[in-house]
Structure 1
Amino acid sequence: MILPLSVTGVVPLPSLHFETIIGNLGTINCSKTSGSGIGNSQMNDSLHLHGLLEEIYQQLLPQVKVESVYPHDPVEVDNLPQPWRLLGRGNYAAVFCHPDYADEVVKIYAPGRQGFEEEIQVYSRLGEHPAFSQCYYAKPNFLVLKRLLGTTLYDCIQRGMRIPKQVIDDIDEALEYARRKGLYPHDIHARNVMMHEGRGYVVDISDFLDQESCSKWDNFKKAYYWLYRPILRPLGLRVPYFVLDIIRKGYRAFSTFTKSCHRQLGMLLGYKSSKHLKRFKR
């Protein structure tokens, strides 16, 4: 069992400049902390965040290992110290929480995985929206984010939980909001969206700068309206994880195959057009 680090004998916390704090907490001028230039609420928020950062730098980061073994599978997590808890894993990063800081989560990127800088930029553009998280602090390869409570739609389907239409509508509205902010919602699927108390949330925005066309959310909505609502929901059926995993991997293989076919077809049509053009010039 891995015990928490004691207060004595630990590596001192790196110098924390509050200019790196992002989001609602704002930027704090430390020279005015004893004056009237900063409110008590903002000061309390800053001290709260500073306490969390101490736990991160002194306990979490020195011990936990986040590794990307297979690029298209969730990262592997090992050596997680108590009392930290793993909340979720994606293909790029893992998300953790501490019991004393229930409103924040820590997202740690696996070494060698891209997307950290892009995610910061996306959060900066999004600002505040009820369906998205917010970034409070960022240092290379990890973020401190506002915690979103809920259950992923992937888990809802496995557990036979009812997914109201309002959840789908909320996510649609959130994605449209992101587009108005100059972003490109990408890689939105059942693992990256959640519901809580009948409302929908988007939990992964790391690929929102990717301008490549992505139909995952549209395909999920088709399955929701054609399969889930008329069949699965009325019967209260649960779909085992291994079946969902087969569907997920099958979808990826099919998507890769169709993209390859489109590329080959485009190259073929381009080649034929070039030949016809040369004949016409003759």
Structure 2
Amino acid sequence: MDKSPPKHLLETIYQELLPRLQIESVNPRNPIQVSYLPQPWQLLGKGNYAAVVYHPDYSECVVKIYAPGRPGFEEEVDVYHRLGSHPAFSECLYAKDSFLILKRLYGTTLYDCMHLGLPIPKQVIRDIDEALDYARRCSLHPHDVHGRNVMMYQGRGLVVDISDFLHLEACSKWNDLKKAYYWLYRPVLRPLRLRVPYSGLDMLRKSYRLATSFKTSCCQLVLRLTRFKCLKR
């Protein structure tokens, strides 16, 4: 694929998409709201700060548009600049005015694989591990890598969302997902070819969040008690 987007796609974005698109981020903890998307543009996905859309005539590209007033655009451009070209990541073809044109990645998220009962081979996990190691070699810090941010395509692993790779704080989501893959998925779910309903996956996700929050609170409490004891001495 050419490293620059088609000229007519850019014209369509500036003349048809941006003037008419209506997106809003009401709560930074929840996905943004897309009130209006002009035809024939299609919504591919949305996060807490941005929406991802594509035009049927340019299906090899996606456009990621940040909601007004939400941060992250400059940071994401920086991440893509550092990553350059790698088979497990997308590439940035254009970035300006709070939107990016990216090379489209095809596949099924591991989250959806669990729901559909699709087998997830070890190679997918190895590919994602290698991609995250590559990102670290690019002076990045893989963060918020979970089942909805990684995909499988033709038996290979892909990393979809890199927007938080400049965050310095530790994140164990990918390591925790790998533990679940080797301890639960491969020995139990895969042999039975179980399809996990989205309600069950959401319950697991919420339970994980609660457990992580509890663990963080406990660690903070221990640190405070330790500091208090040191001050009393």
Aligned-pair CA distance for 1:241:
1.2
Question: Which runs of structure 2 are paired with 1:84-103 in the superposition (5 Å)?
Answer: 84-103=41-60
Equivalent position of 1:150 in the other structure: 107
Which of 236, 249, 253 lines up with 2:206 in the alignment?
249
- Equivalent residue letter for 1:203: V
- Equivalent residue letter for 1:120: V
Name the CA shift for 1:141/1:253 in 2 (closer, same or farther; >3 Å). Answer: farther
Name the CA shift for 1:74/1:105 in 2 (closer, same or farther; >3 Å). Answer: same
**TM-score of the superposed pair, with normalisation by structure 2:** 0.95
1:116/1:140 contact within 8 Å kept: no
Which of 111, 116, 123 lines up with 1:166 in the alignment?
123
Structure 2: state its 5+ residue gaps.
Answer: none
Equivalent position of 1:74 in the other structure: 31
- Equivalent residue letter for 1:173: E
**TM-score of the superposed pair, with normalisation by structure 1:** 0.79
- Equivalent residue letter for 1:91: N
Structure with the greater alpha carbon radius of gyration:
1
Runs of 4+ in 1 over 4 A off after TM superposition: none
Aligned-pair CA distance for 1:168:
0.4
Equivalent position of 1:64 in the other structure: 21
Name the CA shift for 1:189/1:149 in 2 (closer, same or farther; >3 Å). Answer: same
For each residue in 1:240-271, what CA deviation from the matched residue of structure 2 results, as whole angstroms up to 9, or x when unmatched? 11221222222223222221221222121011
Question: Which runs of structure 2 are paired with 1:165-204 in the superposition (5 Å)?
Answer: 165-204=122-161
* 1:53 paired to 2:10: yes
Aligned-pair CA distance for 1:232:
1.2
Counterpart Cα distance in 2 of 1:191 and 1:257: 23
Counterpart Cα distance in 1 of 2:113 and 2:46: 17
Name the CA shift for 1:56/1:185 in 2 (closer, same or farther; >3 Å). Answer: same
Counterpart Cα distance in 2 of 1:251 and 1:113: 26
2:23/2:36 contact within 8 Å kept: no
Aligned Cα root-mean-square deviation (Å):
1.5
2:65/2:100 contact within 8 Å kept: yes
* 1:119 paired to 2:81: no
Counterpart Cα distance in 1 of 2:97 and 2:210: 33
Aligned-pair CA distance for 1:24:
5.9
3-state SS in 1 of match to 2:59: strand
2:62/2:103 contact within 8 Å kept: yes
For each residue in 1:39-62, what CA deviation from the matched residue of structure 2 results, as whole angstroms up to 9, or x when unmatched? xxxxxxx5x522111111122112
Aligned-pair CA distance for 1:90:
1.8
- Equivalent residue letter for 1:170: D
- Equivalent residue letter for 1:137: Y
Name the CA shift for 1:111/1:243 in 2 (closer, same or farther; >3 Å). Answer: farther
Structure 1: state its 5+ residue gaps.
Answer: 1-22, 26-45, 277-282
Counterpart Cα distance in 2 of 1:161 and 1:264: 42
Counterpart Cα distance in 1 of 2:26 and 2:187: 38
Aligned-pair CA distance for 1:65:
2.2
3-state SS in 2 of match to 1:100: helix
Aligned-pair CA distance for 1:107:
0.4
Aligned-pair CA distance for 1:76:
2.1
Name the CA shift for 1:57/1:68 in 2 (closer, same or farther; >3 Å). Answer: same
Which of 203, 218, 222 lines up with 2:179 in the alignment?
222
3-state SS in 1 of match to 2:128: helix
Name the CA shift for 1:260/1:271 in 2 (closer, same or farther; >3 Å). Answer: same
3-state SS in 1 of match to 2:100: strand
Q: How many residues are matched?
A: 233
Name the CA shift for 1:71/1:247 in 2 (closer, same or farther; >3 Å). Answer: farther
